[in-house]
Structure 1
Amino acid sequence: MRASKNVKEPCKKEACDIQACLTKNNFNSQRCLKVIELLQTCCEKLDYNSTHCASVSGLLKMNVNSKKSTLGNKA
Structure 2
Amino acid sequence: MASGDRSKKEPCKKEACDIQSCLTKNNFLPQRCEKVIRALQSCCEQCEYNSTHCASVSGLLKQMPK
TM range (shorter): 0.7 to 0.9
CA deviation vs aligned residue, 1:28-69 (integer Å, no higher than 9, x gap):
111100000100000011121110001332113434xx3xx3
Task: List 4+ stretches of structure 1 deviating above 3 A.
Answer: none
Please, which runs of 5 or more residues in structure 1 have no aligned partner?
70-75
Please, which runs of 5 or more residues in structure 2 have no aligned partner?
none
| Alignment CA distance shift 1:61-1:48 (3 Å) | farther
Rounded to whole Å, the distance in 2 between the matches of 1:46 and 1:61 is: 21
User: Residue 26 of structure 1 aligns with which residue?
Assistant: 27
Report SS of the residue matched to 1:47.
coil
Paired-residue identity, %: 68
Give the number of the structure whose alpha-carbon radius of gyration is greater: 1
User: Residue 48 of structure 1 aligns with which residue?
Assistant: 49
User: Residue 58 of structure 1 aligns with which residue?
Assistant: 59
Compare the two structures and name the one with the higher helix fraction. Answer: 1
TM-score normalised per structure 1: 0.78
User: Residue 40 of structure 2 aligns with which residue?
Assistant: 39
TM-score normalised per structure 2: 0.87
Contact 2:11–2:51 (8 Å) recurs in 1: yes
Aligned length: 65
